[in-house]
Homo-oligomer: A and B are copies of this chain.
Amino acid sequence: MELDAAKMIGAGLATLGLGGVGIGLGTLFGNFVAGALRNPAAAPKVFPNLLLGVALTEALGIFSLLIGLLVLFG
């Protein structure tokens, strides 16, 4: 297989990480909105924790996108 062809397959495979992070972020926000609907008064206090979780989880998706772009153009 030539290098150019392998780049296409590698970049496609790199979206596997994006998919997993998508499941994780969906679970995270899903739990937050379910809890916030049960106890709306507490939501502003818990919001910073949500943002911390989003930042740490989303970082993995950014790493994955980075690998995909490095494979494609690096």
Q: Which residues of A contact B (CB under 8 A)?
A: 1-40, 42-43, 45-47, 49-50, 52-54, 56-58, 60-61, 63-65, 67-72, 74
Q: Chain A: interface secondary structure? A: helix
Assuming the A-B contacts A20-B18, A20-B20, A33-B31, are A25 and B60 also in contact, with contact meaning beta carbons closer than 8 angstroms in the complex? yes
The quantity of this chain's copies bound in the complex is 5
What residues on B are CB-neighbors of A3 within 8 Å?
A: 2, 4-5, 8
A58 to chain B, nearest CB (A): 6
Partner of A16, one of B17, B29, B37, B43: B17
What residues on B are CB-neighbors of A5 within 8 Å?
A: 1-3, 5-6
What residues on B are CB-neighbors of A20 within 8 Å?
A: 16, 18-23
